[in-house]
Homo-oligomer: A and B are copies of this chain.
Amino acid sequence: MTISIMANTDILLRFGERVRELRKKRGWTQEAFADYCGLDRTYVGGIERGERNVALRNIEVIAATLEISISQLTKSL
């Protein structure tokens, strides 16, 4: 029995899916979102695909851009 649909998959994939979900909910493209974050478009793409082991400072930037706390951003992980 699973707690969440994202349980038991890699943390980077789960984080990426979460970011993508929240970004899309706001109707933003990857490119626009990357601009808001002050990050490169391809870097954000890599995060959403679970290829980047994002560090705390960028996690903070992403949460701030989504206007939620880091705790909320990592809620379902």
Contacts and interface: CB of A to CB of B under 8 A. Distances in A.
A17 to B, nearest CB: 13
Interface string A40-77: 00000000000001111101100000000111101101
Identical copies of this chain, number: 2
Chain A interface SS verdict (over half): helix
Interface residues on A, range: 10 to 19
> In the complex, which of the residues A15, A56, A59 has the most CB atoms of chain B within 10 Å of its own CB atom?
A56
A60 B11 CA distance: 8
25 contacts: A11-B56, A11-B57, A11-B60, A12-B56, A12-B57, A15-B56, A53-B55, A53-B56, A53-B57, A54-B55, A54-B56, A55-B55, A55-B56, A56-B59, A60-B77, A69-B74, A69-B77, A70-B74, A70-B77, A71-B71, A71-B72, A71-B74, A71-B75, A71-B77, A74-B74
